A and B are shown apart, each in its own frame.
Chain A
Amino acid sequence: MNSPAAASISILPDRRDSIARAGEAGNAVACDRGSLAGSVTQRACAFCGSRVVLYPIADALHLVHGPIGCAAYTWDIRGAQSSGPQLFRNSFSTDLQEMDVIYGGEKKLGRALRELIRRHQPKAAFVYSTCIVGLIGDDVSAVCRELSAEFSIPVIPVASEGFKGTKKDGYQAACDAAYRLVGTGDTRDISDRSINLLGDFNIAGESWIIRGYFERLGIQVVATLTGDGRVDDIRRCHGAKLNLVQCSGSMTSLAKRLERDHGIPFQRVSFFGIEDMSAALYGVATFFEDPLLREKTSELVREEIERLMPELREIRTALEGKKAAVYVGGAFKAFSLVRALRTIGMRTAIVGTQTGDRDDYDQLRAMCEPGTLIVDDSNPLELAKFCLEQDVDLFIGGVKERPIAYKLGIGFCDHNHERKEALAGYVGMLNFAREVYASVMSPVWNYTPRRALRLRTAPRENEE
């Protein structure tokens, strides 16, 4: 469709090498680098990465050491659920003031920790450094050591100063912090058939869904990192026999350390979509080398898929041939979404991520249909341009992408950490399909100017 706006949006020269098309020759997608200043990146900062990963540890105190904003913007905004303690849903901040910045914030941090630990009796405390703390040079580690000794609980610094990098660097800092707990718990009663779920955050109870599948197969889930997380579970997660790593960007480094130090192998998985969910289950069955387990897995997969198919087929009929844009944080989610969209008859016309690496983009190029736009670290103007040019019917992203879609009369599915719908597992696939269906098929688009215009100019089917 003709869009003067799309034509008028140019791609910044320094961004051009981050955009490619599947099926076309060309260099690898430039990625894994800092965002261009002024590009209005959709990425957040290192602090965000750390906060996202550790946040769901429900019985820990999460204290943000810095001015109020960093803590305020992360107060109970995510869909991560806990079956017990709700402590993690609070927002704790040292609320640094000018005097603290001038004279240093260590004393205030110590006082804040004492007050909060006494008040909430957490199993552990994480102290997140923000930009300003990195700048004024508070010795956060020293304060944490002191408090740790004082209260006999782990008080762990998280080196998450925002300017230190992107979300990915924050993931690393979070893994470093979480790893300090690992190896300190009792592993005696852990079964030979046991796994950890890494990189699942129990958004809308997704960890419980996945756990349920494995428990039906007689496999013990020792710890989920960090969905519905508990400090004591993480302490003993080194007793598991296998690690499943979802959201590879956030947790692969932890999995590698568990492999190095404790000899636990890991498999990269995704729980989104029928194909990937099934592959994850079969992968575990294969790992434990038991024909009976393999059989039980097939049974479970068959049972679950049979339950979904009638409705999925109906939805597929309605959505067949429609086009989607995908812009998400990590590449593994993007792979799954391309497949899941295929399951419901939709084609991915645009796919991008905030944190993908070179291999990820090569894989996206290989798996997407020719012509699909592939982009790293995009921004609102680019995404709007792509949506207009590709004339998509659906956008899958987070809250920051939603208005771009809605303003252009495009359906939207929230696949970010703030969502309150479970999209993982088989039931999650159905929820996903229903949500996509509900948005794409809504009659309201008929009234939005761009769609109304398209309807007016489109040739009627029977006239062709």
Chain B
Amino acid sequence: MKNDDCRTVRSRNPGTKGAHWHAPATEVRLFPDILHSAFFILHQAAAPPEGSLLMIPAAEFPSAATNACKLCTPLGACLAFKGVEGAIPFLHGSQGCATYIRRYLISHFREPMDIAASNFSEQSAVFGGGANLKTGLANVVRQYQPRLVGLATTCLSETIGEDVPLHLREFAETAAGPVPPVVHVSTASYRGTHMDGFNDAVRALVEAFAGTDTIVRSDESLSPAAVFPGMVSPSDLRELKRLGASMGIPFTLLPDYSETLDGPTWSDYEKLPAGGTSVSEIRRLSSAQMAIEFGRILAGAETTAGVVLERRHQVPLHRLGLPIGLRETDRFLQILSRARKDECRADVHSSGRSRCAERPNTTLCILPSGAGGLELPSDLALERGRLIDSWVDGHKYVFGKRAVVFGEEDLAVGLTSLLAEIGIVPVLVASGGKSGRFAGTLRAAIPELDARTAIRESADFSTIAHEARQLRPDLLVGNSKGYGLARELGIPLIRCGFPVHDRIGGQRLLHLGYAGAQQLFDRIVNALLEDKQTRSPVGYSYL
């Protein structure tokens, strides 16, 4: 840490000699007790004479999080479970967790968000929550008739050491009627972030169901690819399905909350909104032709949904970055293009006829940096071409602009990749996640990043704000939680990811594919143009 990371604070009642504390911040950190006692003495002094100064570090507050850039694990698990057909998330713990998470998710998705809880009381905290869990499950099954209960154990139940499998067995044995499957994921909120809760819930679903069905492989169509999209928007999920259809490869997305969390208004109440990946589709994932798991950070995790499919069911696994921007989308479609070719060829080889539908016209796209070609259906190739054309049209507005990117690690990697592609300098990329792989992954994935890019993991918004003030960025790219900083700095915030709760349409924000890159690019350019226009004393109406 540099000296200028310190700020000067005027002590309220300093006074005597020795009250001046000009030690460098590094020393402050090395000898915190000295600082504490110095401060203690200062504050004990009776009279408040003027003028004494105390140097304290402004950026490094290792024991407290100020305005976190992360959420807790159960939120991620609840969101993932919302992407399974007929599923209801259930938190084993205090009812406040469910209520807070419901409210937080509703403010973004603006959709019903029923999450049950076992409503721990003081008694259950002391004597165990088994009775509450069983009563709660019985009530939820009775009221909602769910096809699945996604059970997440919060810090409370995790810490008192609940024997969840035992409780679940007892519940099933004593239940009055048929009970739906209950998938359990451990989400102690003092371990990891909401991304871990999300990914662990997806893995728990695959572990519980994949391969538990007699596989009937249809002769009529290709087996689907398992796609683990990560925590993306409902619009993104729909875009992925569109890309799959366009490439001739059906997808089973897990989770798929594209309808459950972005549905139409109803003619009658739906206890659990329609949509989502069905349990039987998850069962059949063991016979998927391949698995694609997005997230370069997640790719470093030992056990994921994709890894489970690969290890237990020999499903070939591709671990890719979130397809944000041109290059990451190209990589994703490259995989699909090759897979389709291989599948069709194998088909013809074995049966003499292909189940591949007639391929529409394709176009060969030239990939950047001599990476060869990518064969795309003509409509997608056109889309890709238009994207590049727009980049050409707008390149001067963005080149050299300085951006601060924040959010979940994998989303931040994708967004940074897009920014680098179009000539924006990501001067700070920050996340509340703590994988230990953030900086390495970013630098490996994005060749443009150089010493100008600071990378912070395990960051909160006080750190982000502190650094951003010195970096003087032109724009922020991240969720609504950056609004305070954007306002302070007087620069635009390009709202991405989750949560977006100060604008409408967070669920419809598109980040993925060429279409997502197009939307992000247009929004970035237009935000910069608007900013320029607003700042201009002339008020040009023609830019």
Interface residue ranges of A147-191 to B (CB < 8 Å) = 150-152, 162-165
Q: Is the CB of B122 within 8 A of A37?
A: no
Judged by a CB distance under 8 angstroms, whether A101 is at the interface is: yes
**Contact: A68 with B70, CB < 8 Å?**
yes
- A163 touching B125, Cβ below 8 Å: yes
Q: Is the CB of A44 within 8 A of B100?
A: yes
Within the complex, which residue of B43, B64, B114 is in contact with A94, where a contact is CB–CB below 8 Å? B64
B99 touches A42 (CB 8 A): yes
> In the complex, A409→B94 CA distance in Å?
32
Residues of A within 8 A of B125 (CB): 131, 134-135, 163
B209 touches A (CB below 8 Å): no
Contacts of A44 in B (CB 8 A): 95-96, 99-100
Residue from the set B95, B139, B156, B267 with the largest chain A CB neighbour count within 10 Å: B95
Residues on B with C-beta less than 8 A from A116 are 61, 64, 66
Question: Is B75 a contact partner of A118 (Cβ separation < 8 A)?
Answer: no
Least CB distance, A105 to chain B, in whole angstroms: 9
Are A67 and B190 also in contact (CB < 8 A) when A111-B63, A132-B159, A135-B160 are?
yes
| Contact residues in A for B193 (Cβ distance below 8 Å) | 68
Q: Is B104 an interface residue (CB 8 A)?
A: yes
The CA of A121 and the CA of B7, in the complex, are separated in Å by 14
> Taking the complex as formed, is A287 at the interface, i.e. its CB lies under 8 A from any CB of chain B?
no
Distance, CA A77 to CA B107, complexed state (A): 10
Known: A132-B156, A402-B106, A449-B265. 17 other contacts (CB 8 A): A4-B268, A34-B119, A35-B119, A37-B133, A38-B138, A39-B119, A41-B99, A48-B99, A71-B65, A72-B72, A94-B65, A98-B188, A111-B63, A118-B56, A135-B160, A151-B43, A152-B44
Q: Which residue of B lies closest to A115 (CB)?
A: B61
Task: Give every chain B residue within 8 A of A111 (Cβ-Cβ).
Answer: 32, 62-64
CB nearest to B154 among chain A residues:
A131
Contacts of B189 in A (CB 8 A): 67-69
Residues from chain A with a CB closer than 8 A to the CB of B12 are 121
Identify the B interface with A (CB < 8 A).
9, 12, 32, 36, 39-40, 43-44, 54, 56, 58, 61-68, 70-72, 74-75, 90, 93-104, 106-107, 110-122, 124-125, 132-133, 135-140, 142-144, 154-156, 159-160, 188-191, 193, 264-271, 462, 481, 484
- Residues facing B in A25-56 (CB within 8 A) are 34-48
Contact yes or no, B265 A406, CB < 8 A: yes
Given A36-B135, A96-B190, decide whether A150 and B117 contact each other with a Cβ distance below 8 A: no
Query: A121 vs B36: C-alpha distance in the bound complex, in angstroms?
Result: 14
Across-interface contacts of A292 in B (CB, < 8 A): none
B300 to chain A, nearest CB (A): 20
Known pairs A68-B72, A92-B65; A73 contacts B268 (CB<8 A): no
Q: Kindly specify which of A5-13, A219-227, A242-250, A269-277 makes contact with the partner chain.
A: A5-13
Question: Per a CB cutoff under 8 Å, which of B132, B139, B155 touches A132?
Answer: B155
Known A12-B139, A121-B9, A408-B266; contact A46-B65, beta-carbon cutoff 8 A: no
Chain A interface, number of residues (Cβ within 8 angstroms):
87
- Residue A404 CB within 8 A of the other chain: yes
* Measured CA separation A139–B378 after assembly (Å): 67
- Which among B58, B116, B118, B139 has the highest number of chain A CB atoms within 10 Å? B139
Binds B, one of A260-268, A320-328, A380-388, A424-432: A380-388
Q: How far is the CA of A90 from the CA of B189 in the complex (A)?
A: 20
User: What residue in chain A is nearest B69 (Cβ atoms)?
Assistant: A72
Complex CA–CA separation, A381 to B142 (angstroms): 12
Q: Identify which of B67, B74, B107, B119 contacts A36 (C-beta below 8 A).
A: B119
Contact, CB under 8 Å: A132 / B190: yes
A163-B65 contact given A5-B270, A37-B132, CB 8 Å threshold: no
Docked-complex contact A407 and B112, CB < 8 angstroms: yes
A450: interface (CB < 8 Å): yes
**Minimum distance in angstroms from A447 CB to a CB of chain B:** 8
Q: Which residues of B contact A150 (CB under 8 A)?
A: 36, 39-40, 43
Partner of A71, one of B68, B90, B140: B68
Taken together as a complex, chains A and B put the C-alpha atoms of A3 and B269 apart, in Å, by 8
Contact B113 A403 (CB under 8 A): yes
5 contacts between A and B (CB under 8 A): A69-B74, A90-B462, A163-B122, A164-B122, A450-B266
